[in-house]
Structures are given as structure tokens and as C-alpha cells.
A and B are shown apart, each in its own frame.
Chain A
Amino acid sequence: METKKSSRQLLDEALAKHYEDALTAKAAGKLVAWATSICPQELLETMDIDVVYPENHAAAIGARKGALTFIEHAEGMGYSSDICSYARVNMGYAEIQEFAGGNIPMPDLIFCCSNICNTVIKWYENLAVTLNIPLIMFDMPFNHTYEVPEHSVKYMRAQIEYAIERLEAITGRKFDYERFAEVMKISNETCEWWKKATDLAVHTPSPLKGYDMFNYMAVIVCMRGKTACKEIFQTWYEEMKEKAANGEGPFKDGEESYRVMWDGIACWPHLSSTYKVLRKFGINMVTSTYPESWNIRYETNDLDGMARAYSSNYANRNLNYGIKNVTKLVEDFALEGIIYHSNRSCKLMDFRQYEVQRRVEEATGVPSVIFDGDQTDPRIFSQGQYETRIQALVEMMAEKKKSEVTYE
């Protein structure tokens, strides 16, 4: 009898298959798209287009210590060292087209959604013009109001319809609305299971080891519309549910001493060293803003709802939402501290971080630290500074813990 595969096995297999399928599709002359991480992939999935995600690939290149080659190449092309390092890695890759740690097929179509930043507009515009291929731009206006305004919804809804027309023209195939409904349903279910699984970290100790979330995130980006992805999260959920029931924490060989949140993208090139410092102090990163980022939920066939859901990504919402969001995470996950990654690549996240930190601390009393780093540029990180900051956080958390002990 075949033993049931673990979610980690399923995850690794699915990721390998995802890249293999895309390369095979390209070799067979099928159309391949490059897309941004939180784009309405439902449209591409419905059209059966193989999609790869440059952000995922850049993160993988970073984690496998390969980023600098591509970054330096892009800088040689004239890209400033101040712009997003995912973009630099990807623009470099678009020329070099070879990475020993895993390749992606070159695109025939670019699909870009501005709900994560305006940087992707410039980055993808450059890809389209450099590679001389069509670009479908999905513009999601920044929500400086708490809710998504109705005229924005109307604008985004019209862009869904426009994207469908363009996809039909580019592929020469009709858009299948029945299949679309099915993909919407699967995508919503996948997001629901992603959220359910990551929400299990509310247990103390948390059955979720936070750094694992960075790994599982790869498939919520690239396979949201596929049932295989849903199954990974279901399995992951069941595994963690069982762990929680048994009172098992995140670490095999130690206690979960502190529960923290990590704000921002990981430092992919320094993943293991940043993890080890946390591990040394028994710190578990139980959550981040990511569980909610891919909790993209709406009713099947409700295109206004779909537009609203995609536009509601926290990066595309105002400061009050950001503060409320993090404050709620502190409460829901019983957080004892917050680590803010001042990520040189991501100005949209950075330039609100100081105020979020102040206001969340005011509201919750939870201590926090900020450290300087970068998502893929290995040069922008100092192990010494990181360790010192984490140590300071530990001291503050310990102090607070001590003061909260009540004697009966």
C-alpha cells in the first residue's frame, strides 16, 4: 500500500512539476506567460496558459545564492542598484537565461497587476519592450480610502473584460466561461485552505514553524487555480491540526519561547542565517502579512467581488488598514514581538513601516525592532546588525514576560 505523502513532499513535487510543465510547454511551442504574484491568475488558468512568476523565480535564485550574477548583469545594463532586486535579478535573467539552480521558459506574454506596487508596472513594461512581446496590464488604483471605491471597482471590472478579449486575440481561442467559474471556485478554495492552515499558528505552541510558510508560499503564488495546490494546503492543515492536538510546537528539539511576526519579505540569500538566529533564542515567526495577502476570496462569477478582492491586498490599502491588520495579528496570534524588515527593495512596504511600528506598539504594547536588509540583494544585509536587533527584541520580550507573570 502506498503511504500517504506529506505536504512537504507534495509541495516539492508540485513545484518541480510546475517548472517542468512550463519548460515542456515552451518546448512544444505553447504560449508561456510571466505574471506578477497576486494577479488575477484565474484568467490565465482558464485559458490553459502556462504561467511562471518572476518574483518566485527571483526568490528561488536568491535562496540558492545565485542572485548576484543576475543583479550585476542588470546593473551593467543601466539598472540602478536602488531599484527592486527582484526586478534586477529578473532583468538580468531575461538576458542570461541560464541558472544552474533552475530555469524558467522565456515568456510570449506578460501579465502584470499593479495591486502589489507600481514598480511592477515599470519592470514589466521594460520586459515587454525588451522582449518585444504583448503585455496585459491590470491596473488597480491605490486605495487611500479604507475601502475600495466603487469607481475603482468599475475600472478594474472593465479591465477583466478587456483582458479576456486580449487573451482571446493573442491565443486565437475563445474564453470558456464555464471553465472560468470552475477555476474561480478552485482558487477560492485554495485560498481558504491556505488561510486555514496558516491560521493554525494561533495555537500555543504553534504547530507552524514560520519559516516553512516562506516555502509553502511558492505554490500559493504559482498554483492557486489548481486542485493540486488545494490538496497541499489541506494536507498541511491536517498535519498541523494533529500536531496542535498533541500539543506539539514548531521545533523538534526545543520550546517555542517567543512568538513573533515578521513584517515584509524574507531575506532570501540569508534565509538560513536569519533563521538560525531566531532559532537560537527559541523565536518562532508564527505569522506575517502573507496569510491574508493570499486570502483572495469572492463569490464565483462575481467579477466586481473578484476585482475588489484583488485590490484589497494590504500593500494597496491605506495606513489605517495596515495598522489595524497588524494589530489584529498581534491579538489573534498572541504575538510577543514584531520584526520589521526594512527591505531596500520595497519602498511601498518600507515608507509606512515606521508609523505602523509606532501605532501598533501604542495599541498593543508589543515590542519590536527594525533591521536593514533586502529580499534578494545579498549585499544589503549585516549579520551583526541583525543579531544585535534580534537580541534587543529578545531582551524586551523577556522583560515584558517577566513583568506579566502573576503570582497567586
Chain B
Amino acid sequence: MSKLNNLIDEFVEAALSPSEAIEKSKQITGKEIVGCFPVYTPEEIIYAAGFLPVGMWGGKTEIRYADKYLQSFCCSIMRSNIEYGIKGVYKSLKATIIPAFCDTLKCIIENWKVAIPDIPVIPVVYPQNRTDTFGYAYLVAEFTRFKSEMEKLSGKTISESELAAAFDIYENYRSLMRSFVEIVKDYPVTINARKRHLIIKSGYFMDKKHYSELMKELIDALKAMPKEKHSGPRVVGTGLIFEPIELTDIFVENQISLVEDDFAQESRQFRAVARTEGTAMDKMAYRVVDLRGCTFLYEEQKSKGDMLVEMVKRNKADAVFVSMMKFCDPEEFDYPIIKKKLDDAGIPILYIETEMHMDSYEQIRTRIQSFSEMLM
């Protein structure tokens, strides 16, 4: 048990202290780091180039310099990232990768070039028409361009086998994560909503190979334990990110367990299983082609609403929790559509609007508390 607790603590600590965790990963691997913005970036290529990809999903910081570039109605993750960049928090980054998944991200690419000129930005543009051959071909071409950018950065060519090896490490990581989110449903006491989130998040600050070894240990340790009983409400989560962290505390206070998630920062990263055919580059592209229910990837018949209803059913969940990052247009556009689907299915919704820079949680606490009481 103490081994399990130590493991959990290691993940939690890494998630709560990204700078220290990244520094430690640098020491273990001897690699230089490359920052990766939300939502998806071709991390396997960065890894194959010999760099350590780390996640950049914002944080709480006083906004002083970002206002020079961004109005106040800009997504708080993006404002934080620009602020951190200007303040020098990211000074050890070899480069920053920013994908153009939304209008704000497009502008962030452009602002980064001038606001943080010392850290090169390498943009990447994913196709929205991705399910036909031309979308797939474009994505492979874009990944190929990206690969040459990484080669320029590292000064060495990435071989086919290096990319294949990196892909395997990532696919192994994703497969373990799929197992983790499945197994963790049986241990809602040991791994509560807060710990679940932090354990997943810590993967953004570690070498995926090392993280996967720890994850394997964690899964094995959990499996060895008897399943846990839990009497609190069971919810399915959706949205960009299950943060600020205080939000997860309120879940724990109210004994709400997260039985499955559709958070962009969590399961959307790993739920699409890779195809077996093709080169590593093909497989990377196919994972984007095959991903369903993601807010940032166009679907003619949006499947997210039905997907959430299905998640609730298969988990016998009580409700859907929508973690709405204020000013995230794509997520805000999805909400009325999923709301209708969930209303039609008679599934209650807990809608919470969040920002990175919130000071008071009392209103949210009261709402979550009454929602929780209503469900029980």
C-alpha cells in the first residue's frame, strides 16, 4: 500500500510542480525540452528528434504583459502562456509548438513570434476535412514539413526507425492510459477525481517512456487491490481541461467520482487506438483521422452528444459535468448541441464555467454541493 501511495504521490507532485518535474526529467534523460501547446501536436516526431516534449496548458499567474497583445476576452490558458513566455518562465525551451486548432491559437502563433522572439515557434496546421484521402495526405505532408523543422532544430536527420520507435513508446503510453482510466473506475477512493486528474496531467512533464514504466507499476498495484465501494455521485466529464485545481478539490469534498472523461487534456489525447498498417507517420495521421467526438476536429454529423450519452450509459453514471473554459469558442459552440442530446436522454448536466485566474470558488462550491445532493 505504501508503495502505491508513494507512486501516486510521485505523479501528483510532478503535476503540481511542473518546473521541478521537467528539470528532473531533463536530468534523467539528458534531453532538451520542446514545449507543446494544446490541443494536439506531433509529439512522436519531437521525441524522435531527441527532444523531450512537455505540455503547456496554462496556469495561474498575474497577467501583466500579455495584455499588450491580447484583449481580456481571450482564453485564459493562452493569456497565461503568453504571460509566462514574456516573464521568462519558458526560457529553457528549445522551441514551442503551437497548433492552429482555433482562431485564438492562430493569433497566438503570430503573437508568440513577436512577444517571445528568443524561443522559436513551430506552428502546425491540422486539416479539418480529415476523413477523406486528401485530408490524410495533407496531414502527412504537414507532419513531413514539421519533421524537417525538427531536424533543423536538432541538427540531425530523423530516421524511419527512430520515428517508429518513438511512435511505439507513445502508443504504449496511450494504451496504458486507456487501461488506467478503465481500471481507476474500480478505485474511486484511492484515486479520487483530483488524483485521477493529476496522475494523467503529470505525463505532460515527464519522458513518456519513464512515465509509462511508472504507470505500469501503478496499474499493477491497483489491480492487486480489492475493488472499492463508493457511494457518491458518478459523473462523466467533458470540456477542455479539468482545472483550476481547486475545482477538483470541490469534487473530492462532495465525493463525486469521475467515471470517464472526454477532456481535451485527458482522454482525447489517447482514446483513438492506432491502426496497425503503414509507416509511423501514417499511423500518426490515422490517429487524427480516426478520432471522434473532439471539439477541435470537424465532423459533419457531430458525434460528441451521442458519445457522452453512451459514456453515461455504459458507466451507469448519474450526470455529465461540463468544465467550460471561458472564451473557448469551439467548446462553447459544442455545448448547446450536447445539452440537447443530454436533455433528451434525461441526463442531468453540471455546467461550470472556469478560468485559469479565478480567485473565489464559493459560488462554484455551492453549486456543486447542491447538484451533488440533488443526484443522491
Q: List chain A positions with a Cβ less than 8 A from chain B.
A: 74, 77-80, 82-84, 87, 91, 114, 117-119, 121-123, 125-126, 128-130, 134-135, 137-139, 141-142, 144, 149, 151-152, 154-155, 158-159, 162, 318-319, 342, 344, 347-348, 350-352, 354-355
Give the chain B neighbours of A79 by CB distance below 8 A: 332-333, 335-336
The distance in angstroms between the C-alpha atoms of A135 and B301, with both chains bound, is 9
Which of these, B74, B132, B135, contacts A347 with CB under 8 Å? B74
The answer to whether A144 and B125 have CB atoms under 8 Å apart is yes
Which of chain A's residues have a CB closer than 8 A to the CB of B101? 118
Count A/B pairs, Cβ under 8 Å.
Answer: 156
Task: Please state if B74 and A351 are interface contacts (CB–CB under 8 Å).
Answer: yes
**Cβ of B333 and Cβ of A354 under 8 Å apart?**
no
Report which of B300, B330, B336 forms a contact with A77, defined as CB distance below 8 A.
B336
Is B141 within 8 A of A151, CB to CB?
Answer: yes
Query: Is the beta-carbon distance between A83 and B103 smaller than 8 angstroms?
Result: no
**Is the pair B110, A141 in contact by a Cβ cutoff of 8 Å?**
no
Give the 10 A-B CB pairs with smallest separation, nearest first.
A351-B107, A158-B134, A78-B336, A122-B333, A155-B138, A151-B141, A348-B103, A319-B110, A80-B332, A139-B128
Q: Which of A159, A318, A354 meets B134, CB within 8 Å?
A: A159
A350 touches B71 (CB 8 A): yes
Does any Cβ of A come within 8 Å of B269's Cβ? no
Q: What residues on B are CB-neighbors of A122 within 8 Å?
A: 329-330, 333-334
Asked if A139 and B299 make an inter-chain contact with CB atoms under 8 angstroms apart, the answer reads no
In the complex, are the beta carbons of B102 and A118 less than 8 A apart? yes
B102 to chain A: closest residue by CB: A118
Q: Is B31 an interface residue (CB 8 A)?
A: no
A-B contact pairs, 24 of them (CB 8 A): A77-B336, A79-B332, A79-B333, A79-B336, A80-B335, A91-B336, A114-B128, A118-B101, A118-B103, A125-B299, A125-B302, A126-B333, A128-B300, A139-B127, A141-B125, A141-B127, A144-B109, A154-B134, A158-B133, A158-B137, A319-B111, A319-B113, A348-B103, A355-B111
Interface pair B110/A78, CB less than 8 Å apart = no
Q: In angstroms, how far is the closest chain B Cβ from the Cβ of A378?
A: 17
Q: Is A355 touching B333 in the complex (CB atoms < 8 A)?
A: no
Contacts A118-B106, A119-B329 given; 13 further ones with Cβ under 8 A?
A78-B336, A82-B73, A82-B329, A83-B329, A118-B101, A118-B102, A119-B333, A141-B142, A144-B123, A155-B138, A347-B104, A355-B110, A355-B114
Bound together, the chains give a CA A128 to CA B123 distance in angstroms of 30
**Are the CB atoms of B326 and A82 closer together than 8 Å?**
yes
> Which B residues are closer than 8 A to A by beta carbons?
68-71, 73-74, 100-104, 106-111, 113-114, 123, 125, 127-129, 132-135, 137-138, 141-142, 145, 298-302, 324, 326-327, 329-330, 332-337, 339-340
Q: In the complex, what residues of A have CB within 8 A of residue B337's CB?
A: 126, 129-130
A352-B128 in contact (CB<8A): no
Q: What does DSSP make chain B's interface, helix, strand, loop or mixed?
A: helix
Of all chain B residues, the one with the shortest Cβ separation from A132 is B301
Residues of B within 8 A of A121 (CB): 128, 298
Nearest CB in chain A: distance from B79 CB, A = 10
Contact, CB under 8 Å: B70 / A141: no
Known A118-B103, A121-B128, A347-B329; contact A78-B109, beta-carbon cutoff 8 A: no
**Contact between B107 and A348, CB atoms less than 8 A apart:** yes
How far, in angstroms, from A164 to B335 measured CA to CA in the complex?
A: 32
Q: Nearest chain A CB to B39's CB is how many angstroms away?
A: 12
Known: A348-B103, A351-B108, A354-B68. A154 touches B138 (CB 8 A): yes
Complexed CA–CA distance, A344 and B61 (Å): 24
Which of chain A's residues have a CB closer than 8 A to the CB of B132?
158, 162
How far does the alpha carbon of A91 sit from the alpha carbon of B327 in the complex, in Å?
A: 19
Contact B332 A82 (CB under 8 A): yes
User: Which of A125, A158, A159 is B298 in contact with, Cβ under 8 Å?
Assistant: A125
Residues of B within 8 A of A83 (CB): 329, 332-333
Chain B contacts of A155 at CB under 8 A?
Answer: 127, 129, 134-135, 137-138, 141
Contact assessment for A159 and B110 in the assembled complex, using a CB-CB cutoff below 8 Å: no
List chain A residues, Cβ under 8 A from B336.
Answer: 74, 77-79, 91, 126
Known A-B contacts A152-B138, A158-B134; the reply to A144 vs B333 at CB < 8 A is no
Q: Please report the C-alpha to C-alpha distance between residue A108 and residue B347 in the assembled complex, in whole angstroms.
A: 31
> With A126-B336, A158-B134, A348-B107 in contact, do A118 and B127 touch (Cβ < 8 Å)?
no
* Contact (Cβ within 8 A) A159 B129: yes
Q: Which of A129, A130, A159, A344 counts the most chain B CB atoms within 10 A?
A: A129
User: Which of A74, A142, A342 has the most chain B CB atoms inside 10 A of its CB?
Assistant: A142
A149 to B100, CA, bound (A): 15
- Chain A residue with minimal CB distance to B298? A121
Once bound together, how far apart are the Cα atoms of A125 and B302, in whole Å?
A: 7
Closest Cβ neighbor of B121 among chain A residues = A144
Contacts of A144 in B (CB 8 A): 100, 106, 109-110, 123, 125
Q: Is the CB of A139 within 8 A of B332?
A: no
Question: Bound state CA distance, A1 and B190, in angstroms?
Answer: 91
Closest approach, in angstroms, between the C-beta of B357 and any C-beta of chain A?
16
A348 to B110, CA, bound (A): 11
**Interchain CA distance A137-B299 in the complex, whole Å:** 10
**Chain B hits for A126, CB < 8 A:** 302, 333, 336-337
> Given A129, A162, A342, which contacts B301 in the complex, CB threshold below 8 Å?
A129
Bound form: Cα–Cα A344–B73 in Å: 8
